[in-house]
Structure 1
Amino acid sequence: MLQRETPPIRPAFPSRSEIADLTRRERMVLEHVCQGQSNKEIAEALVMSISTVKAHVRNIMQKTGASNRIQLALNADRHNGQPS
């Protein structure tokens, strides 16, 4: 019987260094995500297209290992509300 390799377990929340690896623009988007804003609201506030916001959110999630926006916001709050 073949055994599958178990992937390494990631912590539930990304580390402060993973947040620090975000670009300036990604940190700006993250701040708005933490405020519960929609992609459309973020796009209007930061003067960018909705597709650009979606790309930034996707990149943030990949870099931090978060699986959804709630997890992103909780992580930022866990780091004393300092996503940047």
Structure 2
Amino acid sequence: MTGSAVRRATKDDLDVWASLRHQLWPHLSLEEHRAEITEALAQPEKLVAFFCLTATGNAIGLAEASVRSDYVNGCETSPVAFL
């Protein structure tokens, strides 16, 4: 994609971040996504998110990477990196 970019998500991206997450996990409300993002932002060593942006700056893709200590399907160890 010509003119696209990738950048790290920040607290200023709360609404667009929640909207993209909601498209992936619609069983949670936008408010629940906002709450999870706010909690994640308070622990930057555990989660990072990146947006793929169009040439005009619109976020069209999301990737989140985290360190999870809870149970993750298919994993026998903890913590585990999760994308």
TM-score norm. by structure 1 comes to: 0.32
In terms of Rg, which structure is larger? 1
Indicate the structure whose relative CO is greater, using CA pairs within 8 Å and at least 6 residues apart. Answer: 1
Task: State the TM-score, normalizing by the size of structure 2.
Answer: 0.32
